[in-house]
């Protein structure tokens, strides 16, 4: 059987050898076993269900939420001589009937369908009349409510097992921490499936995170010094920021395209096409861009705000360096991001379990930003891969972070928050601590406070770092009105009472940090 699989790999795909666990997964699936495949983006998951579909009698049914990508996938399969088609809402009724006819006459090796179509009685009826070779459930994490990409239709996919108990199933995902993995197994009824996990490390990606100073300038400097003329993706949290950033980069002579859900479908498609086909374009995008994007030579992925979870971060940065050559995952973040991300979570559902999970995920993300340990160690530890040596290919490995005893500074910062009534933002509080006599300080009489000027030993940018780290640690919260006012949390009092010591990272700021990076 392996000979057949290898023959297909070579003659159809033109690859020389299987990589990673592909061989084992294909053997297992082709012989009828259920599988759960956990493999990072770019790991080569598609082959794991495509080759068994070609090998087994009947048609492989691929369930994928990525309707926009089905056409591309089918096109490239067809080019290789694989008999593939897709069924989704973008097809005309005629075209649909044509695909269904080919399916019924056993003329297809593979059919891609959207989950909402699959669970329709009409389609299930169609399946009764053919021989499904297997069911491949792509992006299986969509079944998990706790994942970052929940699709309700995915929870109905157990129907496959109920209605077709003898057809093997293979579920695949690139994002699976413990809870998500358990959800996939439970919701898809995969208790007896063999789990194949290739590990989440992407050794060719170098991780760097810098405190935010002037983010656009920092980005420009990073691109100019490290990735001039190369393809890259810049993620931003909002559509407006996407537009601004793309325009700004263009004005600075770096060809950049915007991508977000607010653009019309034609424009989106056009920009994506250009990014895929042309060299050296920078795509500035919201998270709407990227699922399934398979461009091998993306040399960097930059985040100007942190994503909401390490799963999202791993997936988004994973789009860099799919060709195995060195690539950068670069991010800048600051206090305002912490504030905004916390606020975006769980609006309207204060104490719901879902919000708790999201908060926990965000906290892990922020801890990753602030870590003084090897970033790769922290990242892989989150995905359950422990006991790693420091990687030597991230900023904290290359430029070990100095730490300092921030207990006293934290006490000063927190008491400045308290004494001003817990409604001012970091900038104003910093002015108080450094004793800057601004109009605003005068008008509030804040120059009469005991804390006024009590923090002159640190500069404004260092105080910025203190406030950011306090917010990350949950020692400062923001008020609900969204004006950036900071207030204490119950834990703050442990610090104020001297019951808790704090160690802070000494930030390497701005340009010097990028310069240091450019030398490597
Ligand atoms: P995933 O779905 O896990 O993100 P893909 O299946 O899209 O990954 O594969 C990622 C890239 O690796 C694709 O360009 C694919 O053609 C390539 N690839 C997959 N398997 C092999 C292999 N055995 N040898 C060489 N290239 C491969
Ligand atoms: Zn490292």
Amino acid 441: pLDDT: 96
Instruction: Please state, in angstroms and rounded to a whole number, the distance separating the CA atoms of residues 427 and 439.
Output: 13
pLDDT band at 339 (very low <50, low <70, confident <90, very high): confident
- 211 Cβ inside 6 Å of ligand 1: no
Rounded CA separation 512/520 (Å): 13
Q: Which atom belonging to ligand 1 lies closest to the Cα atom of 19?
A: 23
C-alpha dihedral sign at 75, 80, 85, 86: negative
For residue 520, what pLDDT is reported? Answer: 42
Q: What is the pLDDT of residue 71?
A: 87
Chain-centroid distance, C-alpha 37: 18
Taken as a whole, the chain contains a residue count of 520
Pick the atom of ligand 1 nearest to 292's CA: 4
Q: Which of 22, 44, 298 has most ligand 1 atoms within 8 Å of CB, for mutation?
A: 44
Question: How far is it, in rounded angstroms, from Cα 466 to Cα 410?
Answer: 7
Distance 72 CA to ligand 1 centre (A): 15
Give backbone dihedrals phi and psi of 20, rounded to 5 degrees, phi first: 55, -130
Band of pLDDT at residue 519, cut at 50, 70 and 90? very low
Q: For residue 399, which ligand has an atom nearest its CA? A: 2
Mutation test of ligand 1: which of 36, 38, 46 has the most ligand atoms closer than 8 Å to its C-beta? Answer: 46
Assigned token pair, 456: 């002159």
Ligand 1 in contact with 27 (CB < 6 A)? no
Confidence (pLDDT) at 344: 81
Q: Identify the residue whose C-alpha is closest to ligand 1 atom 21.
A: 44
Q: Given 3-state DSSP classes, what are the helix, strand and coil percentages for the chain, each rounded to the nearest 5? A: 45, 15, 40
Q: Where are the beta strands (DSSP E) in 73-201?
A: 84-87, 110-113, 132-137, 169-173, 194-197
377-400 pLDDT, tens per residue? 999 988 777 778 999 999 999 999
Q: What is the pLDDT of residue 35?
A: 97
- Cβ atoms within 10 A of the Cβ of 228, count? 9
> Which DSSP string corresponds to 155-190?
GGGHHHHHH-TTS-EEEEES---HHHHHHHHHHTT-
Q: What is the pLDDT of residue 252?
A: 97
Question: What average pLDDT does range 426-433 have in this prediction?
Answer: 95
DSSP conformation letters of 310-330: HHHHHHHHTTS-TTSS-EEEE
What pLDDT is stored for residue 515 in this prediction? 47
DSSP one-letter code for 200: -
DSSP annotation of 12 reads I
Average pLDDT over residues 107-132: 94
- For residue 196, how far is the Cα from the chain centroid? 21
Q: What angle do CA 434, 440, 446 make, to 5 degrees?
A: 55
The pLDDT assigned to 479 comes to: 66
- The tokens describing 297, both together, are 């030579």
**Buried/exposed code over 259-278 (b: 16+ C-beta within 10 A; e: otherwise):** bbeebeeeebeebbeebeee
Instruction: Report pLDDT digits (tens) over 42-87.
Output: 778 999 999 999 999 999 999 998 887 888 889 999 999 999 999 9
Ligand 1 nearest-atom number relative to CA 318: 4
Residue minimizing CA distance to atom 23 of ligand 1:
18
The predicted structure's pLDDT at residue 195: 93
pTM, 2 dp: 0.72
> What's the whole-number average pLDDT of the chain?
90
**pLDDT at position 509, please?**
64
Give the distance (Å) from ligand 1 centre to CA of residue 360. 32
Q: State the distance from the centre of ligand 2 to the C-alpha of 392, rounded, in angstroms.
A: 5
Given pLDDT bands bounded at 50, 70 and 90, which one contains residue 176?
A: low
Specify the range with the lowest mean pLDDT, choosing from 92-106, 294-308, 469-483: 469-483
Instruction: Indicate if ligand 1 lies below 6 Å from the C-beta of 298.
Output: no
> What ipTM does this complex have?
0.97
End-to-end CA distance of the chain: 47
């Amino acid at each position: 059987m392996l000979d057949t699989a290898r023959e297909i790999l070579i003659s159809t795909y033109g690859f020389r050898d299987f990589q990673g666990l592909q061989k084992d997964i294909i053997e297992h699936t082709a012989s009828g076993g259920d599988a759960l495949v956990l493999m990072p983006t770019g790991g080569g998951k598609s082959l794991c269900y495509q080759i068994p579909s070609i090998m087994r009698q009947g048609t492989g049914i691929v369930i994928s939420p990525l309707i926009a990508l089905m056409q591309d996938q089918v096109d490239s399969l067809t080019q290789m001589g694989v008999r593939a088609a897709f069924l989704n809402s973008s097809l005309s009724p005629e075209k649909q009937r044509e695909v269904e006819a080919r399916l019924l006459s056993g003329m297809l090796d593979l059919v891609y369908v959207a989950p909402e179509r699959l669970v329709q009685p009409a389609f299930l009826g169609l399946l009764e009349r053919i021989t499904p070779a297997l069911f491949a459930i792509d992006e299986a994490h969509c079944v998990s409510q706790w994942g970052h990409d929940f699709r309700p239709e995915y929870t109905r996919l157990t129907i496959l097992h109920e209605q077709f108990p003898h057809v093997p199933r293979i579920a695949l995902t690139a994002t699976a921490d413990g809870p998500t993995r358990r959800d996939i197994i439970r919701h898809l009824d995969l208790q007896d499936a063999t789990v194949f996990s290739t590990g989440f490390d992407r050794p060719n990606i170098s991780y760097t995170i810098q405190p935010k100073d002037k983010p656009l300038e920092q980005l420009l400097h990073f691109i100019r010094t490290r990735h001039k003329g190369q393809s890259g993706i810049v993620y931003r949290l909002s559509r407006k920021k996407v537009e601004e950033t793309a325009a700004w980069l263009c004005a600075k002579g770096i060809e950049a395209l915007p991508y977000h859900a607010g653009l019309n479908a034609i424009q989106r498609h056009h920009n994506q096409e250009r990014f895929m086909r042309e060299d050296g374009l920078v795509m500035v995008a919201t998270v709407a861009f990227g699922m399934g994007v398979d461009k091998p030579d993306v040399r960097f992925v930059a985040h100007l705000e942190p994503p909401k979870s390490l799963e999202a971060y791993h997936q988004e940065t994973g789009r860099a360096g799919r060709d195995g050559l060195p690539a950068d995952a670069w991010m800048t973040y600051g206090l305002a991001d912490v504030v905004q991300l916390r606020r975006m979570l769980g609006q309207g559902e204060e104490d719901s379990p879902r919000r708790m999970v999201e908060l926990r995920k965000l906290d892990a993300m922020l801890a990753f930003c602030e870590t003084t340990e090897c970033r790769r160690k922290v990242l892989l530890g989150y995905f359950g891969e422990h006991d790693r040596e420091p990687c030597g290919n991230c900023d904290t490995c290359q430029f070990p972070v100095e730490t300092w005893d921030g207990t006293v500074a934290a006490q000063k910062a927190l008491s400045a928050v308290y004494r001003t009534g817990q409604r001012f933002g970091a900038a104003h509080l910093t002015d108080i601590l450094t004793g800057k006599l601004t109009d605003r300080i005068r008008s509030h009489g804040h120059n009469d406070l005991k804390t006024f000027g009590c923090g002159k030993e640190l500069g404004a940018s260092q105080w910025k770092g203190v406030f950011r780290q306090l917010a990350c640690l949950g020692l400062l919260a923001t008020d609900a009105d969204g004006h950036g006012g900071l207030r204490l949390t119950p834990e703050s009092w442990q610090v104020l009472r001297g019951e808790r010591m704090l160690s802070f990272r000494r930030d390497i700021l701005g340009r010097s940090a990028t310069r240091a990076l450019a030398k490597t």
